[in-house]
Amino acid sequence: MSHAMLGKLLAAAALLALSVPVAAASGDPEVGRKKSTPCAVCHGANGISPSPEFPNLAGQHVDYIAAALRHYKNGKRKNPIMQGQVTNLSDKDMLDLAAYFSSQRGLAVKH
């Protein structure tokens, strides 16, 4: 096998290896919608909060939502309500919820 052919083979393998974790780390918005019922109490049915006391989740970046949920679960972020809500969530649950809320339209900002 030539060096050029070996280089192409290694490059293809590297690209494949990089794409696998990304695919495995994505959530399903429809599954997340079904899991979001408890979230609606504070954050609204579609992620737009009925109260200024709770943040809007609709339209937030998927990575931000997933990281915030993980941080509540591991105690890096402190909030007794959220820590109680995420206790039984799996990584997949958190990714599904993040995918759902990030797919929703957030409030339009008027300038």
Under CATH, which architecture does the 28-103 domain have?
Orthogonal Bundle (1.10)
Q: Residue-wise pLDDT tens for the chain (111 aa)?
A: 666 665 565 565 555 555 444 434 699 999 999 999 999 999 998 999 999 999 999 999 999 999 999 999 999 999 999 999 999 999 999 999 999 999 999 865 544
Task: State residue 85's pLDDT score.
Answer: 96
Write down the pLDDT at residue 106. 82
- Tell me the two tokens of residue 51: 């109260």
Confirm if 94 and 70 have CB atoms less than 8 A apart.
yes
- What one-character DSSP code corresponds to residue 49? -
pTM to 2 decimals? 0.74
The encoded tokens of residue 39 equal: 């979230």
Question: Is residue 97 classed exposed, middle or buried when 0-12, 13-18 and 19+ CB atoms within 10 A define those classes?
Answer: buried
User: How many distinct helices (H) and strands (E) make up the chain?
Assistant: 6, 0
User: What is the spatial distance between Cα 2 and Cα 44, in angstroms, rounded to a whole number?
Assistant: 60
